[in-house]
């Protein structure tokens, strides 16, 4: 008689994949997350049982609890940093109107179709109309992937083989080591730098403009400020030169914003004589990533017809979100810029009071918010923050949604100006969870 094993091989007791995939929870997850993700969770749980880390009877439960919540690795975050347009956190937070417009655009839509004739229509004509309404001084508009693409299109279509005249005070690095001068030169245009870092006069421009000049480019220094003995030349003065003036305003304000009196806006720039304005969609405009080109009809037409325009084309989700941002109520970025200080104080008091009620060391402090890399360098916006023990920073980042504040003098500050008001509850609950050591979500 062959000898029988006394202890059964635990590997034989591990349920098979097909058996596990009949578990209703895993079946539902297949619909929600797809087979790759679910099978990976199942395999990992089986492996843990084979290694003896869990009992074979717990494999299904282990697979279920290892499933990700959603089919993307992107995690939602509450921006409590006090930086309103935070590039690392995806810049502008979209308005509810923009979010629901994206929902519509996810299906088949008339993005490029005329429902009355049944024929092909102009792409995203509703967006163009919304932009034209928002910027009355623009004769025509064109929208591309981002502001960098807008500059590439302008340089390629208007200045390839020619010269772009630009002040040395406006040779901007926009972040992550990307530099506007290098971006422009990559198109085959030549840069003609004029003036010095701190001072450029209209004479510098006049001396440089000649037959090779395609346009004068003015770039808003949106992420730094030069102070002291400085001088620049405004659009109105540049507009008297015999070449078009292209103005990269950066932030994407379409009209003057009382809360930021020094920040340029598209309508005023065109009225002052700019031939073309370029701007981002996801900074102060408060919309999705996009590059706006607004200005003279004949210039915009040249941009739209250039072959490279097709490679920089806006996708339908962005077109829908941008149109809704322009037509809908003030998006969260502009709303947080405008919210009065007493309102922030009221919200901070309420939040701190509730946290103290949970035995948490929370107090309200004065703070300063900033627009961020999106614009208005050097402008400090008065704000209020809830100050917490800095050891809460890590558990708060582990939650879902994660809460990201900023560390200051050994304290963690949650700045109310960058937190959308409808998330105050979420932030409170997150701090309570983080303080109770329940920081895994």
Ligand X SMILES: *Cc1c(COP(=O)(O)O)cnc(C)c1O
- Closest to ligand X by CB, 81 or 146: 146
333 is a contact residue toward ligand X (CB under 6 A)? no
- Closest to ligand X by CB, 172 or 416: 172
Asked if residue 93 lies in contact with residue 427, where contact means CB atoms within 8 angstroms, the answer is no
H or E element, residue 252: none
144 is a contact residue toward ligand X (CB under 6 A)? no
- Rounded to a whole number of angstroms, the minimum distance from the CB of residue 413 to ligand X is 26
Stretch in the footprint of ligand X (CB under 6 A) among 41-49, 60-68, 205-213, 215-223:
215-223
Determine the Cα–Cα distance for residues 296 and 316; give it in Å rounded to an integer: 25
Determine the Cα–Cα distance for residues 430 and 441; give it in Å rounded to an integer: 9
Binders of ligand X among residues 263 to 292 (CB under 6 A) are 280, 291
Sign of CA dihedral 25, 31, 33, 37: positive
- Closest to ligand X by CB, 56 or 90: 90
Question: What is the DSSP annotation of 57-88?
Answer: GGHHHHHHHTS-SSSSS---EEE-SSBSS-GG
Among 147, 167, 268, 367, binds ligand X (CB under 6 A): 147
- Rounded to a whole number of angstroms, the minimum distance from the CB of residue 207 to ligand X is 25
Determine the Cα–Cα distance for residues 390 and 136; give it in Å rounded to an integer: 49
- Rounded to a whole number of angstroms, the minimum distance from the CB of residue 124 to ligand X is 18
Determine the Cα–Cα distance for residues 172 and 182; give it in Å rounded to an integer: 10
Query: Hey, how many other C-beta atoms are within 10 angstroms of the C-beta on 404?
Result: 20
Determine the Cα–Cα distance for residues 177 and 190; give it in Å rounded to an integer: 20
Contact track, ligand X, 29-68, x by CB under 6 A = ----------------------------------------
Determine the Cα–Cα distance for residues 69 and 196; give it in Å rounded to an integer: 54
- Rounded to a whole number of angstroms, the minimum distance from the CB of residue 219 to ligand X is 5
Indicate the residue whose CB is closest to ligand X: 250
Among 79, 81, 200, 222, binds ligand X (CB under 6 A): 222
Among 195, 250, 331, 372, binds ligand X (CB under 6 A): 250
Binders of ligand X among residues 153 to 172 (CB under 6 A) are 172
Binders of ligand X among residues 182 to 211 (CB under 6 A) are none
Sign of CA dihedral 331, 336, 340, 344: positive
Determine the Cα–Cα distance for residues 111 and 126; give it in Å rounded to an integer: 9
- Closest to ligand X by CB, 126 or 375: 375
- Rounded to a whole number of angstroms, the minimum distance from the CB of residue 203 to ligand X is 25
H or E element, residue 279: strand 276-280
- Closest to ligand X by CB, 265 or 424: 265
Determine the Cα–Cα distance for residues 101 and 95; give it in Å rounded to an integer: 10
Contact track, ligand X, 118-137, x by CB under 6 A = --------------------
E strands, 297-358, where?
none
- Rounded to a whole number of angstroms, the minimum distance from the CB of residue 147 to ligand X is 3
- ω before 401 within 30° of 0 (cis)? yes
174 is a contact residue toward ligand X (CB under 6 A)? yes
CA angle 383, 385, 390 (to 5 degrees): 145
**Longest Cα separation, the chain:** 107
- Closest to ligand X by CB, 179 or 391: 179
220 is a contact residue toward ligand X (CB under 6 A)? yes
Burial (CB < 10 A; 0-12, 13-18, 19+), residue 258, is exposed
- Rounded to a whole number of angstroms, the minimum distance from the CB of residue 293 to ligand X is 12
- Closest to ligand X by CB, 67 or 148: 148
- Closest to ligand X by CB, 46 or 222: 222
- Rounded to a whole number of angstroms, the minimum distance from the CB of residue 128 to ligand X is 19
- Closest to ligand X by CB, 223 or 387: 223
Size of the site for ligand X (CB under 6 A): 12
Asked if residue 64 lies in contact with residue 25, where contact means CB atoms within 8 angstroms, the answer is yes
- Residues near ligand X (CB under 6 A): 146-148, 172, 174, 219-220, 222, 248, 250, 280, 291
């Amino acid at each position: 008689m062959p000898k029988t094993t006394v202890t059964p091989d635990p590997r034989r007791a591990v349920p098979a994949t097909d058996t596990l995939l009949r578990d209703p929870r895993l079946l539902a997850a297949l619909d929600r997350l797809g087979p790759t993700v679910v099978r990976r969770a199942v395999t990992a749980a089986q492996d843990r049982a084979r290694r003896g880390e869990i009992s074979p009877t717990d494999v299904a439960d282990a697979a279920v609890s290892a499933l990700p919540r959603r089919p993307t690795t992107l995690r939602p975050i509450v921006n409590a940093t006090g930086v309103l347009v935070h590039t690392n956190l995806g810049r502008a937070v979209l308005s509810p109107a923009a979010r629901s417009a994206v929902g519509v655009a996810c299906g088949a839509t008339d993005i490029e179709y005329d429902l009355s004739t049944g024929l092909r229509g102009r792409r995203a004509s509703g967006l163009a109309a919304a932009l034209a309404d928002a910027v009355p001084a623009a004769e025509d508009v064109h929208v591309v992937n981002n502001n960098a693409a807008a500059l590439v299109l302008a340089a390629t279509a208007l200045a390839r083989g020619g010269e772009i005249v630009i002040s040395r005070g406006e040779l901007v690095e926009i972040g992550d080591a990307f530099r506007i001068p290098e971006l422009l030169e990559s198109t085959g245009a030549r840069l003609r730098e004029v003036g010095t870092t701190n001072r450029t006069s209209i004479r510098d421009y006049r001396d440089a403009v000649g037959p090779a000049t395609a346009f004068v480019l003015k770039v808003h220094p949106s992420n730094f400020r030069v102070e002291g003995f400085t001088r620049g030349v405004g659009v109105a003065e540049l507009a008297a030169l015999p070449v078009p003036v292209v103005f990269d305003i950066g932030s994407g304000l379409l009209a003057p914003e009382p809360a930021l009196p020094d920040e340029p806006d598209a309508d005023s720039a065109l009225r002052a004589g700019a031939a073309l304005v370029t701007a981002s969609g996801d900074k102060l405009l408060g919309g999705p990533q996009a590059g706006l080109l607004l200005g003279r009809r004949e210039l915009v037409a040249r941009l739209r017809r250039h072959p490279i325009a097709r490679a920089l084309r806006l996708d339908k989700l962005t077109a829908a979100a941008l149109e809704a941002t322009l037509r809908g109520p003030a998006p969260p970025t502009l709303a947080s810029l405008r919210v009065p200080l007493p309102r922030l104080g009221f919200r901070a008091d309420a939040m701190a009071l509730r946290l103290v009620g949970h035995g948490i060391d929370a107090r309200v402090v004065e703070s300063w918010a900033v627009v961020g890399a999106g614009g208005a360098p050097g402008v400090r916006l008065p704000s209020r923050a809830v100050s917490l023990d800095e050891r809460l920073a890590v558990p708060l980042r582990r939650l879902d949604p994660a809460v990201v504040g900023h560390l200051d003098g050994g304290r963690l500050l949650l700045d109310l100006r960058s937190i959308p008001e409808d998330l105050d509850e979420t932030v409170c609950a997150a701090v309570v969870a983080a303080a109770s050591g329940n920081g895994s979500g």
